[in-house]
Chain A
Amino acid sequence: DAGITQSPRHKVTETGTPVTLRCHQTENHRYMYWYRQDPGHGLRLIHYSYGVKDTDKGEVSDGYSVSRSKTEDFLLTLESATSSQTSVYFCAISVVGEGPGELFFGEGSRLTVL
């Protein structure tokens, strides 16, 4: 158990509203990730973080921002949600020292944008 908690686990919102998903870890790992998973597209990287206040974009970062003000929390924000952002969002951590970048995932946050 890598001690990853995602919240909320389920959310329904309307187009144009802001949404923030939270990923919390209990073990002070440096690398954290946000992926989205959609049928036909698999898992796609949105943003990742390699330390406090250090973040970088993934392959599908448009419409998303992230923040990491402390090691244990990595926030994903949709400033103005769109229906195309309906998805299941997974947070993951890389357990450095356990191998070449294996990821441990949270249980996912299912977001529906109406």
Chain B
Amino acid sequence: TQLLEQSPQFLSIQEGENLTVYCNSSSVFSSLQWYRQEPGEGPVLLVTVVTGGEVKKLKRLTFQFGDARKDSSLHITAAQPGDTGLYLCAVRSGGSNYKLTFGKGTLLTVNP
């Protein structure tokens, strides 16, 4: 059983459209992280959410942590080709503060 379920798995949209991707679990987490990975590179941290119901904004990206701290969403407004990449959520697991488990990711393609 996958600890984190990300949806959709693939998303292809046109420049200027809005989109939302999701990261869901049946477990409760103390925090959740979002990473973006561009082709040929390693993942890069975008944000960490810690408090249930928390909303964080990073330019056109809005991250929300569910009230029950079991899920999170990432909303992108007016997507641009530079937003293309694999979006991964991750949580601490196995009782460790320093061991992260990742979801399988959402592969986003923004077409010009």
Contacts of A108 in B (CB 8 A): 40-42
Query: Which one, A42, A50, A104, A107, contacts B104 given CB within 8 A?
Result: A42
Are B30 and A41 in contact, CB atoms less than 8 angstroms apart?
no
Q: Is the interface of B mostly helix, strand, loop or mixed?
A: loop
Which segment, of B13-21, B56-64, B72-80, B95-103, faces chain A?
A: B95-103
- B43 on interface, CB distance cutoff 8 Å: yes
Are A103 and B100 in contact, CB atoms less than 8 angstroms apart?
yes
Are A105 and B102 in contact, CB atoms less than 8 angstroms apart?
no
B interface, how many residues as a size bin?
20 to 34
Are A43 and B102 in contact, CB atoms less than 8 angstroms apart?
yes
- A31 on interface, CB distance cutoff 8 Å: yes
- A79 on interface, CB distance cutoff 8 Å: no
Give CA–CA (A41, B41) in the complex, Å: 17
Give CA–CA (A103, B30) in the complex, Å: 16
Are B101 and A45 in contact, CB atoms less than 8 angstroms apart?
yes
- B50 on interface, CB distance cutoff 8 Å: yes
Q: Write the B68-112 contact mask toward A (1 if CB under 8 angstroms, else 0).
A: 000000000000000000001010100001111111110000000
Are B45 and A50 in contact, CB atoms less than 8 angstroms apart?
no
Give CA–CA (A12, B44) in the complex, Å: 27
Interface centre among B40, B41, B42, B97 (most CB of A within 10 A): B42
- Sampled A-B contacts (29; CB under 8 Å): A31-B98, A41-B104, A42-B102, A42-B104, A42-B105, A43-B88, A45-B100, A45-B101, A48-B98, A50-B98, A90-B42, A90-B43, A94-B98, A96-B98, A100-B30, A100-B31, A100-B92, A100-B97, A101-B97, A101-B98, A101-B99, A102-B33, A102-B45, A102-B48, A103-B45, A103-B100, A105-B44, A107-B40, A108-B41
